[in-house]
Amino acid sequence: MSFSSSSFSTTTSASTSSLHAYGWDEEWATAFAPYAAQGLLPGRVVRVDRGQCDLVTEAGIVRADTSFVTPHDPLRVICTGDWAAVDPEGVSDPRYVRACLPRRTAFARSTSSKRSEGQILAANVDHAIITVSLAAELDLGRIERFLALAWESGAQPLVVLSKADLVPDPVGLSYLVEDVETVAPGVQVLPVSSLTGEGLDVLQAVAGSGTSVLLGVSGAGKSTLANTLLGEDVMDVQAAREVDGKGRHTTTTRNLLVLPGGGVLIDTPGLRGVGLWDAETGVGQVFAEIEELAAECRFHDCAHESEPGCAVAAAIADGTLPERRLDSYRKLIRENQRLVAKTDARLRTEMLKDWKRKGAEGRAAMDLKRGRVR
């Protein structure tokens, strides 16, 4: 079974019309042309499970083995949201995924293991819907982490404050929204209630334009939002604990689902850890106001501590920049540098030299203070 790329261009609209609901477009068709010439079928990965995956093709859902394209890099493994080339029916048993198309975006985090590996969570996502439950106290630091990963992925973040019906006072709710807006520059913050319908029209409009991924900790209300958007109870939902708002992992795999009003949704399990993975650009986007201030400091390598002419320190002193923001920024920058240094020998050497230099400067300053000269 084989046909030329020229015949592909004339038949693709008919043969892949069922894939358009899953995000197939002319750009994907162009990227897939070489594989079409080999007789392979295009499909989007809707679920991955133990070295196999389910893909939606023009013939429906097929099960395929991913071992043929399993790379050494964990960030290159097949994941939910990927577009892939799969064997046509009858060619092999089991059928195999033969290639994965280049990703437009990729949402990745570091694993909790000591091996400092990255983990790919979802691919080809347009909107990262960060779900935060109002049933528990806001954790602004965690929101900043999610935002850094979302910006780094290439997707547009949206922060959804779920269970807004638990805050019936409009003034109190507006204060919570303002608190989150201070850590989410350039990001819409949307209170949503699946119970009352608040904010659902806006959320549906966002999710209906492209592919969206639901992100958040267990108990944030992601599965409830997914069911609301789907118009039916597809995802299992369990009550969160009243004491801390946490819930059990009701979603155990990443599933790609087509929304009835258009758009594609990827629901993910609750994330216990939100570790950065080479997210320097994302961190800079989350803390854009700090990086803008840093550009005005007298010294280009200002540490924003006691240096003269520090615009960041001045902003903290006059109250325009919360000190918590600077502390969080430093923490994420250090974490990201340590992670990158584990896989980059040159950067590791530079960081070691920098630590030694700062240590020597600190000892010299202490000696000077004590009246000793070396």
Burial of 58 (0-12, 13-18, 19+ CB in 10 A): middle
**Number of neighbours of residue 297 by Cβ within 10 angstroms:** 19
For the segment 163-174, the average pLDDT, to the nearest whole number, is: 96
The mean predicted confidence, pLDDT, of the chain is 83
Question: What would the two tokens of residue 206 be?
Answer: 């966002």
- Specify the pLDDT at position 251: 45
Under a CB-based contact definition with an 8 Å cutoff, are residues 336 and 286 in contact?
Answer: no
- Specify the pLDDT at position 364: 60
Q: Is the dihedral of CA 120, 121, 123, 126 positive or negative?
A: negative
Comparing 27-36, 179-188, 226-235, 293-302, the range with the smallest average pLDDT is: 226-235
What are 63-90's pLDDT values in tens digits?
999 998 878 777 889 999 999 999 998 7
For the segment 364-371, the average pLDDT, to the nearest whole number, is: 59
Comparing 132-141, 282-291, 362-371, the range with the smallest average pLDDT is: 362-371
What are 120-165's pLDDT values in tens digits?
889 999 999 999 999 999 999 999 999 999 999 999 999 999 999 9
Find all residues with CB under 8 Å of 131, minimum gap 6, and list them: 160, 162, 214, 215, 216, 220, 221, 222, 225
DSSP 91: S
For the segment 188-203, the average pLDDT, to the nearest whole number, is: 96
Nearest to 85 by CA among 108, 105, 62, 107: 62
The phi and psi torsions of 309 (rounded to 5 degrees) equal: 70, 25
Q: Provide the percentage of residues in the chain whose pLDDT is more than 70.
A: 77
Under a CB-based contact definition with an 8 Å cutoff, are residues 214 and 221 in contact?
Answer: no
Task: Select the more confidently predicted residue: 70 or 281.
Answer: 281
Under a CB-based contact definition with an 8 Å cutoff, are residues 235 and 227 in contact?
Answer: yes
For the segment 270-284, the average pLDDT, to the nearest whole number, is: 76
**Number of neighbours of residue 44 by Cβ within 10 angstroms:** 25
What is the three-state SS of 312-346? HHHHHHCCCCCHHHHHHHHHHHHHHHHHHHHHCHH
DSSP 155: P
- Specify the pLDDT at position 336: 83
Comparing 49-63, 198-212, 250-264, 346-360, the range with the smallest average pLDDT is: 346-360
